[in-house]
Structure 1
Amino acid sequence: MSIILSIETSTPICSVAIHKDAKLMANADLFLEKSHSNSLSPLIEQLLQHCDLKMSDLNAIAVSSGPGSYTGLRIGLSTAKGLCYALDIPLISISSLDSMTEQVINFHHDPSAFYIPMLDARRMEVFYKISDVNLSDIEQMSNLIIEEDSFNKYKEKKIYLFGNGAKKAWDVLTQQSENFILVNHVDPSAKYFGAIAFSKYNKEQFEDLAYFEPNYGKEFYSPKSKKKSFLDLNR
Structure 2
Amino acid sequence: MITLGIDTSNKTMGISLYQDQNLMAEYVSTNKKNHSVTLMPAIDFLMQENQLKPSDIDEILVASGPGSYTGLRIAVTTAKTLAWTLKADLYSLSSLAIIAAGAPQQFCGLIVPLINARRDNVYTGIYQWQNGEMRVVKPDGHLSIYELFTQLKEQNDEILFIGEDVPVFESMIATEMPQANYIADSILPRTMQLVKNIGEKVSSIDEFTPQYLKLVEAEENWLKTHKSEGKSYVERV
CA separation of 1:173/1:83 partners in 2, compared to 1, >3 Å: closer, same or farther? same
Q: Percent identity, aligned pairs only?
A: 27
Answer yes or no: is the 8 Å Cα contact 1:125–1:145 preserved in 2: yes
CA-to-partner distance for each residue in 1:71-126, whole Å, 9 max, x for gaps?
A: 111111111111111111111111111111111134xx223x00000001113111
SS of 2:115's partner is strand
How far off its partner does 1:38 sit? 0.9
Which residue in the other structure is 1:126 paired with? Answer: 122
What is the one-letter code of the residue matched to 2:201? Q
Which residue in the other structure is 1:229 paired with? Answer: none
CA separation of 1:59/1:200 partners in 2, compared to 1, >3 Å: closer, same or farther? farther
Which residue in the other structure is 1:151 paired with? Answer: 152
Structure 1: 5+ residue stretches without partners: 225-235
Which residue in the other structure is 2:80 paired with? Answer: 81
How far off its partner does 1:177 sit? 4.3
Distance 1:100 1:168 in 2: 16
Distance 1:171 1:150 in 2: 18
SS of 1:35's partner is helix
Distance 1:220 1:87 in 2: 32
If the length of structure 1 is used for normalisation, what is the TM-score? 0.83
CA separation of 1:158/1:180 partners in 2, compared to 1, >3 Å: closer, same or farther? same
Which residue in the other structure is 1:20 paired with? Answer: 19
Answer yes or no: is the 8 Å Cα contact 1:92–1:207 preserved in 2: no
What is the one-letter code of the residue matched to 1:124? D
Deviates further, 140-149 or 126-135: 140-149
CA-to-partner distance for each residue in 1:25-61, whole Å, 9 max, x for gaps?
A: 0000111132111111100000001111111111011
Which residue in the other structure is 2:29 paired with? Answer: 30
- Higher RCO (CA 8 Å, separation ≥ 6 residues): 1
Which residue in the other structure is 2:231 paired with? Answer: none
Structure 2: 5+ residue stretches without partners: 222-237
Distance 1:33 1:169 in 2: 20
Distance 1:86 1:149 in 2: 46
CA separation of 1:32/1:136 partners in 2, compared to 1, >3 Å: closer, same or farther? same
CA separation of 1:42/1:26 partners in 2, compared to 1, >3 Å: closer, same or farther? same
How far off its partner does 1:150 sit? 4.5
If the length of structure 2 is used for normalisation, what is the TM-score? 0.83
Which residue in the other structure is 1:140 paired with? Answer: 139
Distance 1:81 1:166 in 2: 30
Answer yes or no: is the 8 Å Cα contact 2:202–2:208 preserved in 1: no
CA separation of 1:100/1:76 partners in 2, compared to 1, >3 Å: closer, same or farther? same
Which residue in the other structure is 1:69 paired with? Answer: 68
What is the one-letter code of the residue matched to 1:161? F
Distance 1:73 1:110 in 2: 29
CA-to-partner distance for each residue in 1:188-213, whole Å, 9 max, x for gaps?
A: x432112333x479xx8334201111
**What pairs with 1:1-235 in structure 2 (closer than 5 Å)?**
2-106=1-105, 109-111=106-108, 113-134=109-130, 135-147=134-146, 149-154=150-155, 156-187=156-187, 189-197=188-196, 199=197, 205-222=201-218
The CA RMSD over aligned residues, in Å, is 2.1
